[in-house]
A and B are shown apart, each in its own frame.
Chain A
Amino acid sequence: MAVMFSGCNNSKSPNGNRGALASTAAEKVYVPPGEHDEFYAFFSGGYSGNLTVYGLPSGRMFKEIPVFSQFPTNGYGYSEETKPMLNTSHGFIPWDDLHHPDISQTNGKLDGRWIFVNGNNTPRIARIDLKTFETDEIIEVPNSAGNHSSSFVTENTEYVVAGTRFSVPVPQKDISIKEYKGNFKGALSFIEVAPETGRMNLKFQIMMPGFDYDLSHPGRGKSHGWFFFTTYNTEEANTLLEVNASQNDKDFIAAVNWKKIEEYINNGGGTKMPAEYAHNVYDHSTHSAKSTIKKEVLTVDPTKVPGAVFLLPTPKSPHGCDVDPTGKYIIGNGKLSADLTIHSFDKMIAAIEAEKFDGNAYGIPILKFEDVLAGQVKSGGLGPLHTEFDGKGNAYTTFFISSELVKWNVETREVIDRQPNYYSVGHVMIPGGNSAAPFGKYAVAMNKITKDRYLPTGPELEHSAQLFDISGEKMELLLDFPTHGEPHYAAGIPAEILAPKSQKIYRLEDNKHEFAALGGDETRVERNGNEVHVYMSMIRSHFTPDNIEGIRVGDKVYFHITNHEQDFDVPHGFAMIGANNAELLIMPGQTRTLVWEPEQVGVWPFYCTDFCSALHQEMQGYVRVSPANSDIKLSWSLGE
């Protein structure tokens, strides 16, 4: 008996009364059936090219929004209407590496109109509408490569930025890579956002020295009008960067006074240069996207605009660049350093006014480290990456190497609490964390390595997020949940801001799609040479028409299908045997087009893929395909 008791005690002692704590955590993340989460959280899908939508605190995934990737689930990037969204100056690029989501702001507060994300590989910025949760617009960023210090918005969403991670020759040309130093440029792009429509326009690019621009954040409050970008490889090395770009003890945070540059441009400054880049816009009335190739971009040489750009020395290969909610402090996290560096905006302005410069880089003034430094957090951990704020004077920084989340006081720089992460934490997100008014109730750590946290799924596991309750003095781990792809940052917003305006259907009467069949009498099939256009409608539980004859091998068949439902959450799907693309998932009131090029004679079925009603299984039809030289006339029917 004694052995049993002591055994029992031993098994409990290492974790104290963790059982009780664990049940408290469960209560805090439990959202009973039928009830809703308190926050939406938008996680970057990284190499999945998608944005995923989760609920907090439950950690339940609600939706995957395709942005830079073809998405067979609903035909995005496969349907004729959405293919133009993935057009670029390099042609159709059906994938990208989606990094940093940021929600639109008004007066420094989240307004929940749009969320912006960046494509890192083929530089792009996308805008997603938060009424429909669909990608509305994608703009390519010329003269850039690795659009990493992006896509953060200024406090009235005047601009969304796109800073290049890789410097490249501008304009691109065939030169030796060894000629990198002094010849390559780093473009910082400022894309203006139309206040009513959200429509994006690349207003100007600042041509910076050939460093690597890593991350960025806007100023706010008193620092509104400035934007801050971390750099690495100020050595301008072009080979074995892990060594050669880690030689300088300090790299820089580039501080950009964009208001000054805006003024310069509005007075006719800047140089127009030829550049090809795609601008893709989706229209919710035609349910179609259009891609336009733009031919010109306005560039700015920062040395021509005195007082606009300064360099703040920051140790050592700084990664994260975060501005606190008051806008007073700029935090640069040296990913190879043990300390956090906090710059003071006021001290920076004072040093600029006193012209206390410590040389320059390609003509851009460098400020003295000591003159701009507000202080450092000592022994916070190893490898600080990213910082978010709770709006109560505290900051939360992730440390990749020591794998922990550290809470510290922004003013006193004292460490308050630290919690281990499982494992290798990258980004952290507090809803509204990149705004003047964070909702400091939860923090989500986005971990890179997952092993042993979930049941194994072969060599690859989804990444693991960890939810912390940060409402108290100490952080409390509440929940592990898997995230899709590899999240690089996330953005959270209270559900009460988004949920009431979420769109439930598209109104059929507002459908201006060129090929829509809005009434049963508009359904038909038309031949134009070897192109056949099928104008089809769908409603529970049939297609109109459901029998089509007169199609020939070698035809290019366009199925233009309109969903006549006007009921929330009743999409219909469309799948055609042998179609070498994907299915369509068509929302109520929407029109979508799938191309099918039949290769074989026969009678081939199509069907609805999204379970729609008790008669869903009966929602199907046939297409008769005759030989290429057949003279069978086009015909179509329903109910005959």
Chain B
Amino acid sequence: MKKAGILMILGSLLLLGLFEFPLWNIMLGAPQYPDPLGMNIYISGIKGVKEFDIQNIDGVNHYIGMQTIPKPWEMWEFRVFPLVIGTMAALGVVIGLLGFFGKVNHWWFLGWFGLMAVLGILGMYDFNLWLNDYGTNLDPNAIMKMTRPNGRPMTYKPPLFGHQKMLNFDVDSWPHTGGYLMFAGMILTLVAFFIGKKSKNIAQ
């Protein structure tokens, strides 16, 4: 159980990477932007990959009536996410420590993992809602009103995950360093559960 406890602690601590590294990254490339424009999504706000990318993405988007990219104080998520991540990391460390000293069993690890997975899915759902609003809630006075072949107004929701062609832009949306650290941490806590389970079986 000691080994499992250590893994649980390490896994939870990896979440803290989100305070330093972006969770997600969206890049917009086009022939006239040989250096693609990009945004890094942190748990506390959105920043341009290059210094003026946000200003330039907003500039491009205003033709089709998209909103400007939200500032950190414009979305409650950027206040709440750091609290949730900080709390989950602390909780994970506490559970890991208790596991290390044999005060709780491996099911607590799985419980933490389950809670984190639910929160993660909620976070993704919320992120998708925002992307949806960002890409479809367009200014009715937009300069350009594009329609799909079927006559419906065009929307510009960036993909939640992967690549998509939007007008002249190639949009790529992928997890970034903070996100990968979080996934790796969650997998570690899952491994901690299985190791804990195994050591319990051996002990019996």
With CB as the reference atom, state the residue of chain B lying closest to A539. Answer: B59
B63 lies within 8 A of A505 (CB): no
Confirm or deny: B19 has a beta carbon within 8 angstroms of a beta carbon on chain A: no
A505/B52 contact (C-beta < 8 A), A614-B144, A615-B143 known: yes
Binary B-proximity of A606-637 (CB < 8 A = 1, otherwise 0): 00000001110000000000000000000000
Confirm or deny: A540 has a beta carbon within 8 angstroms of a beta carbon on chain B: yes
How many residues of B are counted as interface, with CB atoms below 8 angstroms from the partner's CB atoms? 9
A566 lies within 8 A of B55 (CB): yes
CB proximity of B182 to chain A, nearest CB, Å: 32
B56 lies within 8 A of A567 (CB): yes
- Inside 8 A of A614's CB, which chain B residues have their CB? 63, 143-144
- Inside 8 A of A540's CB, which chain B residues have their CB? 59
- Inside 8 A of B59's CB, which chain A residues have their CB? 539-540, 565, 567
A615 lies within 8 A of B63 (CB): yes
A566/B52 contact (C-beta < 8 A), A539-B59, A614-B63, A615-B63 known: yes
Which A552-596 residues have a C-beta within 8 angstroms of B? 565-568
Within the assembled complex, what's the spacing in Å between the Cα atoms of A21 and B55?
A: 51
Within the assembled complex, what's the spacing in Å between the Cα atoms of A566 and B37?
A: 13
- Inside 8 A of A566's CB, which chain B residues have their CB? 51-52, 55-56
Which B9-53 residues have a C-beta within 8 angstroms of A? 35, 51-52
Within the assembled complex, what's the spacing in Å between the Cα atoms of A613 and B35?
A: 18
A567 lies within 8 A of B52 (CB): yes
Chain A positions within 8 Å of B, measured between CB atoms, are 505, 539-540, 565-568, 613-615
CB proximity of A541 to chain B, nearest CB, Å: 9
Within the assembled complex, what's the spacing in Å between the Cα atoms of A516 and B115?
A: 54
With CB as the reference atom, state the residue of chain A lying closest to B35. Answer: A568
Within the assembled complex, what's the spacing in Å between the Cα atoms of A568 and B37?
A: 12
- Inside 8 A of A565's CB, which chain B residues have their CB? 59
| Contacts A/B (CB < 8 Å), 19 sampled | A505-B52, A539-B59, A540-B59, A565-B59, A566-B51, A566-B52, A566-B55, A566-B56, A567-B52, A567-B55, A567-B56, A567-B59, A568-B35, A613-B63, A614-B63, A614-B143, A614-B144, A615-B63, A615-B143
Q: Interface SS of chain A: helix, strand, loop or mixed? A: loop
Within the assembled complex, what's the spacing in Å between the Cα atoms of A327 and B124?
A: 69
- Inside 8 A of A567's CB, which chain B residues have their CB? 52, 55-56, 59
With CB as the reference atom, state the residue of chain B lying closest to A34. Answer: B34
- Inside 8 A of B52's CB, which chain A residues have their CB? 505, 566-567
CB proximity of A499 to chain B, nearest CB, Å: 13
With CB as the reference atom, state the residue of chain B lying closest to A564. Answer: B55
- CB-CB nearest 10 A-B residue pairs: A566-B52, A567-B56, A566-B55, A540-B59, A615-B143, A614-B63, A567-B52, A567-B59, A566-B56, A505-B52
Which B56-102 residues have a C-beta within 8 angstroms of A? 56, 59, 63
- Inside 8 A of A505's CB, which chain B residues have their CB? 52
CB proximity of B195 to chain A, nearest CB, Å: 50
Within the assembled complex, what's the spacing in Å between the Cα atoms of A612 and B52?
A: 17
- Inside 8 A of B55's CB, which chain A residues have their CB? 566-567
Within the assembled complex, what's the spacing in Å between the Cα atoms of A505 and B55?
A: 14
Within the assembled complex, what's the spacing in Å between the Cα atoms of A615 and B59?
A: 12
- Inside 8 A of A615's CB, which chain B residues have their CB? 63, 143
- Inside 8 A of A539's CB, which chain B residues have their CB? 59
User: Considering residues B35, B52, B143, which has the most beta carbons from chain A within 10 angstroms of its beta carbon?
Assistant: B52
Within the assembled complex, what's the spacing in Å between the Cα atoms of A505 and B51?
A: 11
Within the assembled complex, what's the spacing in Å between the Cα atoms of A565 and B60?
A: 12
* Further 6 A-B residue pairs, CB within 8 A, beyond A568-B35, A613-B63, A615-B143: A540-B59, A566-B56, A567-B56, A567-B59, A614-B63, A614-B144
With CB as the reference atom, state the residue of chain B lying closest to A567. Answer: B56
CB proximity of B50 to chain A, nearest CB, Å: 10
Within the assembled complex, what's the spacing in Å between the Cα atoms of A567 and B59?
A: 10
Within the assembled complex, what's the spacing in Å between the Cα atoms of A539 and B59?
A: 9
CB proximity of B126 to chain A, nearest CB, Å: 31
CB proximity of B154 to chain A, nearest CB, Å: 16
With CB as the reference atom, state the residue of chain B lying closest to A614. Answer: B63
CB proximity of B65 to chain A, nearest CB, Å: 13
Within the assembled complex, what's the spacing in Å between the Cα atoms of A539 and B56?
A: 11
CB proximity of B17 to chain A, nearest CB, Å: 30
Within the assembled complex, what's the spacing in Å between the Cα atoms of A354 and B120?
A: 89
CB proximity of B48 to chain A, nearest CB, Å: 10
